[in-house]
Structure 1
Amino acid sequence: MSTHHDEVEDHDLGLSHDLPTLWHRRRLLGLFGGAGAAVALAACSTDSTGSTTATGAPSGGPPPGGGAGSSAEVGDGEIPEETNGPYPADGTNGVNVLTESGIVRSDIRSSFGGASGVAEGIPLTLTLTVVDVSSADDAGTAAAGAAVYVWHCDRDGGYSMYSDDVADENYLRGVQEADADGTVTFTSIFPACYTGRWPHVHFEVYPSLDDATSASNRLRTSQLAFPADVCSDVYATDGYERSVSNLAQVSLDSDNVFSDGYSLQLAKVSGSVAGGYTASLRVPI
Structure 2
Amino acid sequence: MEVAGDGRVSYQGRDLSHPEEPLADQGLGFDLATLLSRRRTLAGLGLGAAAVGLAACTSDASDDAASSSASDGGGSGTSDGEIPEETNGPYPADGTNGANVLTEAGIVRSDITSSFGDASARADGVPMTLTLTLTNLEADNDPYEGVAVYVWHCDAAGEYSLYSEGLEDENYLRGVQVADEKGQVTFTSIFPACYTGRWPHIHFEVYPDADSITSTDNLLATSQVALPQDVCETVYALDEYDGSAENLAQVTLDSDNVFGDDGGELQLADVDGDADSGFTVTLPVAIDPSTEPGQSTDAFGAGGGQGGTPPSDGGGAPPSDGGGQGGTPRGGASDGGESDGGSASGTQNSSSTSSSGGSGSAAAEASLVGGVLVASR
1:242 aligns with 2:265: no
Cα offset for 1:213? 4.2
Counterpart contact for 1:110–1:116, Cα < 8 Å: yes
Q: Distance between the aligned counterparts of 1:111 and 1:215, measured in 2?
A: 22
Cα offset for 1:165? 2.8
What is the RMSD of the two structures over their aligned residues, measured on CA atoms? 1.4
Match of 2:128 in 1: 124
1:148 aligns with 2:149: yes
Match runs of 1:95-106 below 5 Å: 95-106=99-110
Counterpart contact for 2:76–2:133, Cα < 8 Å: no
Cα offset for 1:250? 0.6
Relative to 1, partners in 2 of residues 1:70 and 1:208: Cα closer, same or farther, differing over 3 Å?
closer
Structure with higher Rg: it is 2
Counterpart contact for 1:152–1:191, Cα < 8 Å: yes
Which deviates more from structure 2 when the two are superposed, residues 214-223 or residues 233-242?
214-223
**Which structure has greater helix proportion?**
2
Cα offset for 1:86? 1.1
Counterpart contact for 1:99–1:215, Cα < 8 Å: no
1:268 aligns with 2:266: no
Counterpart contact for 1:66–1:226, Cα < 8 Å: no
Cα offset for 1:258? 0.3
Q: Distance between the aligned counterparts of 2:251 and 2:232, measured in 1?
A: 12
Tell me which stretches of 4 or more aligned residues in structure 1 moved more than 2 Å: 213-216
1:85 aligns with 2:59: no
Q: Distance between the aligned counterparts of 2:195 and 2:126, measured in 1?
A: 16
Cα offset for 1:274? 0.8
Q: Count matched residues.
A: 217
Match runs of 1:210-221 below 5 Å: 210-221=211-222
Deviations for 1:67-102, whole angstroms, at most 9, x for unmatched residues?
Answer: 21277x642x21000000111000011100001001
Q: 1:65 aligns with which of 59, 65, 71?
A: 71
Counterpart contact for 2:76–2:132, Cα < 8 Å: no
Counterpart contact for 1:268–1:281, Cα < 8 Å: yes
Cα offset for 1:259? 0.3
> Structure 1 unaligned runs (5+)?
1-63
State the secondary structure of the residue aligned to 1:188: strand
1:280 aligns with 2:282: yes
1:185 aligns with 2:186: yes
State the secondary structure of the residue aligned to 1:134: helix
Match of 2:227 in 1: 226
Percent of pairs with identical residues: 65
Match of 2:299 in 1: none
State the secondary structure of the residue aligned to 1:274: coil
Counterpart contact for 1:148–1:176, Cα < 8 Å: yes
Counterpart contact for 1:155–1:239, Cα < 8 Å: yes
Match for 1:237: what amino acid? Answer: L
Match of 2:354 in 1: none
Counterpart contact for 2:134–2:285, Cα < 8 Å: yes
Match for 2:177: what amino acid? Answer: Q
Counterpart contact for 2:145–2:181, Cα < 8 Å: yes
Cα offset for 1:134? 2.0
Cα offset for 1:214? 4.9
TM-score relative to the length of structure 2: 0.56
> Structure 2 unaligned runs (5+)?
1-69, 288-377
State the secondary structure of the residue aligned to 2:102: coil
